Chains A and B, each alone.
Chain A
């Protein structure tokens, strides 16, 4: 459900901020994708391209005291929650200056000082972790919330049912955000998922809502309701944000997959509904920004990307002599 520009009251500055946050994720990830294809990145990378409106819609309303748990497709959440792009890039490059000093990599970027519990290589794992963090927030009593981002694939892990049950019983300040991007790794969601994911909240009596995950304003408004409810101590929500994974499950998948699991037409159709150009058009149409404003943001982000890559490439690899003992039982 889309919200007409006239229905929202964000300042020009806020609107440009949303645009910047989404574009920043997009451009950084495009570079990561290019670098992965060029063989400059040691491990697998899973890109968030096409889903930026969800991460930004939620995280733009959080503070460092709020917690998020993310997925293997986690760069976008990390950046949206205020993560540093240089530290991210260095981590993905496997360098000593990375935010996990090269020990975690793309699937494990985390910054606890900013409330980013981390990306996660296990599908669905963030659901239980954020439930615990939300319990901690409830005990702290300062109104902080926890948000777990996960995909439609993770919705088929039993832990979602367990977490909804506890979260409703304990009235935890937690929001379960399912980014339904259409694919469970290489399987179309319809082939592995029965019913509507959002309906899984119903038997537990949890608040629930479906939102157009490609519409930043719609996501923002939906997030605002869920966050307000959680901060007020009124319990959890399950949000299903319908979006689309424009890139593959993993970069370079075409090199090892024997066949296609989706049509080019389907991808093109969703690229036409890309959240970022749509948002740019909305901001311009509403007279809240000029093309010059957008160009300036584009240039600033390009500089940030270059700086992040230079930082990563110029950083040393971690010293193997420290391997295995550093950070273990520290």
Chain B
């Protein structure tokens, strides 16, 4: 194991898979210079024909990924910010997500659409969306949201070779966060959640960048004697509902933390699955900690007030357990 930054882990996953498989290609906005650093150096190493800058033309770009993948390549399409996927949404929503199904699985369609997502950086309304619920609803695209460098590396390696399109969403502004990454070809199967920590009193499911504040909340709650079982789904499509349900059956309580707007969020979907399938095990209502149904504002105090954080996650857990901030269980 070695400590690596998130961006470095992503860069090494791309570099490693490009070295192993000449069919892996990377294209997108500023991938040569690399705004975030994730594609930096790849052109010099793997050639200008496999790492190509695109004009700011998301409509053609997202569709080119479909055509190149249909024609036999494993395509990493870097769309920079998740919000920019809206500009190229036809080929994501109408083409990539449907082509395999519409044609009865005639072909593999290995595409990774990459972009950063989420708020917390005063990037304002048009650079801060957490659009994973919209992608979840398309029906044909897998969605990976790594919370750690190790998961970023392992999920991306799987995503590149998956025969289906995968949306790989990295939490914006967290590229510098460090974590232990296993040596060698570290791979994580898409659809396998991770139990970040075990606990008996409440299950907290946290998605993407929400895992870190949820972990801190769990540490704080432990001081009050509250045992939090923290689950990171790692991918929301496919969703490891089995692991979540098993945990909720054990704890009887569920809090879901999601950086998406509340309406039809991943949190709502996870809550619905648990209400459907383990209602009998629930000792309390399911709580969602999400973003209100507004655009994220620019000014730091305004933005901070809207995003889930350690305090709001802890508060949600305490309310479920019926305890005040200063009390224990």
Alpha-carbon separation in the docked complex, A330 to B140 (Å): 10
User: Does B301 sit within 8 A of A, measured CB to CB?
Assistant: no
Q: What is the distance, in angstroms, from A103's C-beta to the closest C-beta of chain B?
A: 5
Q: Are A117 and B70 in contact (CB under 8 A)?
A: yes
User: Does B25 sit within 8 A of A, measured CB to CB?
Assistant: yes
Q: What is the distance, in angstroms, from A186's C-beta to the closest C-beta of chain B?
A: 22
Query: Given the interface contacts A104-B104, A112-B70, A330-B100, does A131 sit within 8 Å of B55 by beta carbon?
Result: no
Q: What is the distance, in angstroms, from B30's C-beta to the closest C-beta of chain A?
A: 15
Q: Are B67 and A139 in contact (CB under 8 A)?
A: no
Q: Are B103 and A129 in contact (CB under 8 A)?
A: no
Residue of B nearest to A141 (CB): B49
Query: Given the interface contacts A112-B70, A129-B70, does A326 sit within 8 Å of B107 by beta carbon?
Result: no
User: Does B195 sit within 8 A of A, measured CB to CB?
Assistant: no
Residue of A nearest to B237 (CB): A329
Q: Which of A100, A118, A136, A165 contacts B57 (CB 8 A)?
A: A165
Query: Given the interface contacts A129-B95, A165-B55, does A108 sit within 8 Å of B102 by beta carbon?
Result: yes
Q: Are B102 and A136 in contact (CB under 8 A)?
A: no
Residue of A nearest to B77 (CB): A132
Give chain B residues whose Cβ lies under 8 Å from the Cβ of A103: 101-104
User: Does A327 sit within 8 A of B, measured CB to CB?
Assistant: yes
Give chain A residues whose Cβ lies under 8 Å from the Cβ of B61: 128, 162
Q: Are A132 and B103 in contact (CB under 8 A)?
A: no
Q: Which of A112, A131, A139, A328 contacts B103 (CB 8 A)?
A: A112
User: Does A19 sit within 8 A of B, measured CB to CB?
Assistant: no
Q: What is the distance, in angstroms, from B175's C-beta to the closest C-beta of chain A?
A: 28
Q: Are A330 and B105 in contact (CB under 8 A)?
A: yes
Q: Which of B57, B100, B139 contacts A166 (CB 8 A)?
A: B57
User: Does A163 sit within 8 A of B, measured CB to CB?
Assistant: yes
User: Does A146 sit within 8 A of B, measured CB to CB?
Assistant: yes
Interface size on B, residues (CB 8 A): 42
Within 8 A of A (CB), among B63-115: 63-73, 75, 90-91, 94-95, 99-107
Q: What is the distance, in angstroms, from A320's C-beta to the closest C-beta of chain B?
A: 15
User: Does B123 sit within 8 A of A, measured CB to CB?
Assistant: no
Within 8 A of A (CB), among B204-249: 238
Q: Are A132 and B65 in contact (CB under 8 A)?
A: yes
Q: Which of B59, B91, B103 contacts A110 (CB 8 A)?
A: B103
Interface size on A, residues (CB 8 A): 46
User: Does B282 sit within 8 A of A, measured CB to CB?
Assistant: no
User: Does B269 sit within 8 A of A, measured CB to CB?
Assistant: no
Q: What is the distance, in angstroms, from B134's C-beta to the closest C-beta of chain A?
A: 18
User: Does A125 sit within 8 A of B, measured CB to CB?
Assistant: yes
Q: What is the distance, in angstroms, from B36's C-beta to the closest C-beta of chain A?
A: 23
Give chain B residues whose Cβ lies under 8 Å from the Cβ of A305: none
Q: Are B94 and A125 in contact (CB under 8 A)?
A: yes
Give chain A residues whose Cβ lies under 8 Å from the Cβ of B69: 132
Query: Given the interface contacts A136-B68, A166-B54, A330-B163, does A129 sit within 8 Å of B63 by beta carbon?
Result: yes
Q: Are A159 and B63 in contact (CB under 8 A)?
A: yes
Q: Which of A129, A131, A327 has the most C-beta atoms of chain B within 10 angstroms of its own C-beta?
A: A129
Q: What is the distance, in angstroms, from B33's C-beta to the closest C-beta of chain A?
A: 17
Residue of A nearest to B70 (CB): A117
Q: Please encode chain B, from 45 to 61, with 1 for each CB lying within 8 Å of some chain A CB and 0 for all others.
A: 00001101011010111
Q: Are B55 and A132 in contact (CB under 8 A)?
A: no
User: Does A122 sit within 8 A of B, measured CB to CB?
Assistant: yes
Can you list 13 residue pairs at the A/B interface with Cβ under 8 Å?
Answer: A100-B104, A101-B104, A103-B102, A125-B90, A132-B66, A132-B67, A132-B71, A133-B70, A162-B55, A163-B60, A165-B57, A165-B60, A330-B100
Among all A-B residue pairs, the 6 with the closest Cβ atoms: A128-B63, A132-B67, A132-B64, A136-B71, A162-B60, A133-B67
A contact residues vs B (CB 8 Å cutoff): 67, 69, 99-101, 103-104, 108, 110-113, 117-118, 120-122, 125, 127-140, 146, 158-159, 162-163, 165-166, 169-170, 326-330
B contact residues vs A (CB 8 Å cutoff): 25, 49-50, 52, 54-55, 57, 59-73, 75, 90-91, 94-95, 99-107, 139-140, 142, 163-164, 238
Given A139-B25, A140-B72, A327-B100, 15 further pairs, Cβ under 8 A: A103-B102, A104-B102, A110-B102, A125-B63, A128-B60, A128-B67, A132-B64, A133-B70, A136-B71, A136-B73, A138-B49, A139-B49, A162-B55, A328-B139, A330-B100
